[in-house]
């Protein structure tokens, strides 16, 4: 492996950032959907398919999330979900973060309950 390949690997993200539409496609294929926002944020509205796993709880373990399926993380804007996806990827999960978070989810007209 050359220097350029080594640098690319060192600075590449271990997870993927995806759009709302890509998240919906993955959910249709059986991915697990986790919302890493706080309990207060969760109560303000959430994607119907999402399981609530606050980021601080995720850091203490994987909260029973299966490694056999891709895991999509969402938060308010995409910052905490990126942290969650990075943590999950480090644990061997096929991890994704939704670009723009719940703001993008709502803007795309996706259901919120």
Fold of 13-107: Oxidized Rhodanese; domain 1 (3.40.250)
Q: What is each CA distance from 82 to 2, 4, 5, 109, in whole angstroms?
A: 28, 25, 23, 22
Torsion angle, alpha carbons of 71, 26, 9, 59, to 10: -10
d(CA 9, CA 28): 30
d(CA 97, CA 13): 11
Give the three-class secondary structure for 36.
coil
Task: Kindly state the tokens that stand for 92.
Answer: 């061997």
- Judge if pTM exceeds 0.85: yes
How does pLDDT run along the chain (113 residues), one tens digit per residue?
577 766 555 566 889 999 999 999 999 999 999 999 999 999 999 999 999 999 998 876 666 888 999 999 999 999 999 999 999 999 999 999 999 999 999 999 999 99
Give the three-class secondary structure for 8.
helix
Task: List the domain boundaries for the chain.
Answer: 13-107
**pLDDT attached to residue 64:** 80
**pLDDT attached to residue 20:** 98
């Amino acid at each position: 492996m050359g220097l350029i390949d080594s640098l690319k690997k060192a600075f590449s993200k271990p997870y993927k950032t995806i759009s709302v539409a890509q998240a919906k496609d993955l959910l249709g294929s059986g991915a697990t959907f986790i919302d890493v926002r706080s309990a207060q944020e969760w109560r303000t509205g959430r994607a119907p398919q999402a399981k609530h796993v606050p980021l601080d709880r995720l850091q203490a373990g994987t909260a029973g999330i299966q490694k056999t399926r891709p895991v999509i993380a969402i938060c308010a804007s995409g910052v905490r979900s990126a942290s969650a996806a990075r943590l999950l990827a480090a644990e061997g999960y096929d991890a994704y973060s939704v670009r723009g978070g719940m703001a993008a989810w709502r803007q795309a007209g996706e259901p919120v309950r």
